[in-house]
Amino acid sequence: MATGASFLLEDDVRELIRRRRLDPHRDAAAVLSLVREVLADYEERVLIEGLPPIADANETERLLVDSVSGYGPLQAYFDDPSIEEIWINEPSRVFVARHGRAELTPTLLTEHQVQDLVERMLRSSGRRVDLSSPFVDAALPDGSRLHVAIPDVTRRHWAVNIRKFVVAADDLEDLVRLGSMTPGAARFLSAAVASGLNILVAGGTQAGKTTMLNCLAAAIPQQERVIT
């Protein structure tokens, strides 16, 4: 699909979302239906008005939904379960980490796109980043962790880091199955949780602290009230 047609379709979708008062993040089914409606209308106009045709309707549909409901050019990295981390050093240098190894992606953004993406990510947390608050940490709805720093904390560009919440285990038995823990250790920790003992979880970056906490929480007896 031509770039001009892509922008035109995205503008049409956003305008219809505003008119119908839809929330792109909550009304996912309605937004998908609206995107398909816009695409069908465009394909009719291709025949009548001689507009540039859409090469791949399915891919165009995905890109439009990602643009208005997701995180645009970054959404594919959020959807890829093998990617653990995403960071933007500058608009033309977007990296991901796969199995602990960094990769420079072919994604090219503009300064405006980076700022728009950050605004979308912060919307659910109610936090903001500006000259009075030049860096911010927030949690995304899926559990991923967002860190943003802007000039003058950074030299020139907005720096964005997203550590995705990758579910590898739901309980202590999963850790045993994955080889991260012995059966004896799992039984001991399960008994410690059930007995209400204090447990300190510590480790380096991406060591699995959050995963361990989730697995320990799964061992809490059902009749217990949990307050965090």
Question: Percentage of the chain with pLDDT > 90?
Answer: 43
Confidence of residue 29 (pLDDT cuts 50, 70, 90): confident
Provide DSSP, 77-92. HHH-TTEEEEEEEETT
Q: What is the pTM of this model?
A: 0.67
Show the DSSP H helices in the chain as ranges: 3-20, 28-49, 57-69, 75-79, 111-123, 172-177, 183-194, 209-218
* Model confidence pLDDT, tens digit, residues 51-105: 778 878 888 888 888 888 888 899 999 999 889 999 999 999 999 998 878 999 9
Confidence of residue 50 (pLDDT cuts 50, 70, 90): confident
Alpha carbon distance 202, 67 (integer Å) = 38
Average pLDDT over the chain reads: 88
Confidence of residue 6 (pLDDT cuts 50, 70, 90): low
